Amino acid sequence: MKTYDLLIAGRGAAAYAAGLYAGRYRLDTVLVGDSFGGETAIGGVIENYPGQPEIDGFDLMMKFREQVEKLEVPAIDANLSHLRREGDAFTAELTDGQKVRARSVILAIGRERRKLNLPHEVEWMGKGVSYCSTCDAPLYRGKDAAAVVGGGSAAVEGAILIAKYARTVYLIYRREKFTRPEPVLIQILEQTPNVKVLYTTEVKELIGSEASGLTHIRISKPFGGQDVLKVDGLFVEAGADPRVEVAKELGMELNGQTGEVHVDRLMCTNVRGVYAAGDLTDSSGPLKQTVTAAAQGAIAALSAYQYVSEHKAGHGAKEAKQPAHA
Ligand SMILES: Cc1cc2nc3c(=O)[nH]c(=O)nc-3n(C[C@H](O)[C@H](O)[C@H](O)COP(=O)(O)OP(=O)(O)OC[C@H]3O[C@@H](n4cnc5c(N)ncnc54)[C@H](O)[C@@H]3O)c2cc1C
């Protein structure tokens, strides 16, 4: 079996940025992942990627991809299901049954957003349904109403932020009071007059059409005498779970608080030869964005390059260290 210099798991911003840098370092690299573009490609319009004042996320990811394809870095349309060290390299098992061997690995497989699991939710993502207030709040400038679902800091911060743009924000929480956000956040929330908090309420139905996307939501308990609210957008801020199954299998250290893969400032994990980048990691704290994921992918590629160079120079797997950095 051929041994690549580098296997990059993922097809999102972190993975493609890593692929770009790895290609330019002339590492023999392969990308694996069955879903092109990651969250950026499905998130709708992006207004905060430097150099691109306004671009559809899918188009932005096509640009990432074209730049990597120019360097002839191949991609395999299958996911990574298992990864183990075998001798001086790693063997990856893919969901289509293939095995791929590589001297080093970058994990850039992101995280899974918790969903409401309502019909049309995924279909209307980017058409009124969002999972990222930081990213999409400005798109609601001058709009009448948006709703936020959730009871943690992200939901409360999201509602406060969106209230700077939309005229009315409904913050919908299924419990009787907030217990998780910091008291100072609750105080700011209470001082934000255009946020209406709907306690002990759940979203029951998303209403709209294929052409318009989301236009209304049905809630479990009437508010102002109405159980259907007209909204321009719904933000689901119910948290996200980093995809750490493979990392755990390999004994990678996770962040004790967030459960994300723990990396140092050069994206090194505790496993020699394995790096991680993007939303999967604890690198950029709560700021999980396309630009931060891309930057981490680039840094991870440099670390992999240094490791592989040292490895090929004859140090071998046991002696080769993570690059001197942290
Ligand atoms: C609705 C929405 C709107 C957003 N808007 C913005 C915005 O305006 N601006 C901004 O900067 N950011 C925005 N974001 C955030 C941004 O999209 C993410 O921070 C960014 O995509 C993270 O990149 P990533 O490569 O780390 O992960 P992802 O983009 O999540 O990519 C992970 C990749 O890994 C793949 N994968 C998963 N499991 C496996 C496996 N086992 N093997 C191989 N591959 C696997 C996935 O299919 C995917 O291709 C938005 C996010 C959402 C959800």
Structure confidence by residue, pLDDT tens digits, 119-153: 999 999 989 999 889 888 999 999 999 999 999 98
Same domain, 23 and 171: no
Predicted local confidence at residue 73, as pLDDT? 97
- With cut-offs at 50, 70 and 90, classify the pLDDT of residue 320: very low
pLDDT at 317 over 60: no
Atom of ligand 1 nearest to the CA of 15: 25
- Say what the pLDDT of residue 312 is: 85
pLDDT digit string, tens, across residues 71-82:
999 999 999 999
User: Is any ligand 1 atom within 6 A of the Cβ of residue 9?
Assistant: yes
Compute the average pLDDT of residues 165-175.
Answer: 97
Which range has the worst mean pLDDT, 198-202, 292-296, 300-304, 308-312?
A: 308-312
- Binding site membership of 109 for ligand 1 (Cβ less than 6 Å): yes
Containing H/E element for 292? Answer: helix 290-310
Q: Predicted confidence band at 325 (pLDDT cuts at 50, 70, 90)?
A: very low
Q: Which helix (H) or strand (E) holds 159?
A: helix 153-162
Cα of 284 from ligand 1 centre, angstroms: 14
Q: Are residues 229 and 135 in the same domain?
A: yes
- Answer whether residue 180 shows pLDDT above 90: no
SS (H, E, C) 97-157: CCEEEEEEEEECCCEEECCCCCCCCCCCECCCEECCHHHHHHHHCCCCEEEEECCCHHHHH
**b/e per residue, 140-157, with b = 16+ CB within 10 A?**
beeeebbbbbbbbbbbbb
* pLDDT recorded at residue 315: 59
Q: How does pLDDT run across 202-220, given as a tens digit for each residue?
A: 999 999 999 999 999 999 9
Average pLDDT over residues 243-266: 96
What is the predicted pLDDT for the residue at 314? 78
Please indicate whether residue 242, judged by its CB atom, sits closer than 6 Å to ligand 1.
Answer: no
Cβ(43) to ligand 1 under 6 A? Answer: yes
- Residue 182 maps to a domain: yes
Tell how far the Cα of 46 is from the centroid of ligand 1, in angstroms. Answer: 13
- Give the span between the Cα atoms of 230 and 204, in whole angstroms: 14
d(C-alpha 70, C-alpha 143), whole Å: 41
Would you state the pLDDT for residue 20? 98
In a domain, 325, yes or no: no
Report the pLDDT value the prediction gives residue 324, as an integer from 0 to 100: 44
**Same-domain status, 22 and 171:** no
**More confident: 317 or 103:** 103
User: Per-residue pLDDT for 7 more than 50?
Assistant: yes
Considering the domain boundaries, does residue 293 fall inside one? yes
Query: Do residues 40 and 57 make contact, with C-beta atoms less than 8 angstroms apart?
Result: yes
244 & 109 share domain: yes
User: What's the structural domain count of the chain?
Assistant: 2
For residue 121, being part of any structural domain is answered with no
Ligand 1 closest atom vs CA 129: 1
Assess whether 148 and 190 both reside in one domain: yes
Q: Are residues 244 and 108 in the same domain?
A: yes
Res 253 pLDDT > 50: yes
Nearest to 293 by CA among 85, 107, 155, 104: 107
How many Å apart are CA 248 and CA 241, to the nearest integer? 14
Q: How confident is the model at residue 182 (pLDDT cuts 50, 70, 90)?
A: confident
For residue 313, the enclosing domain spans 3-113+240-319
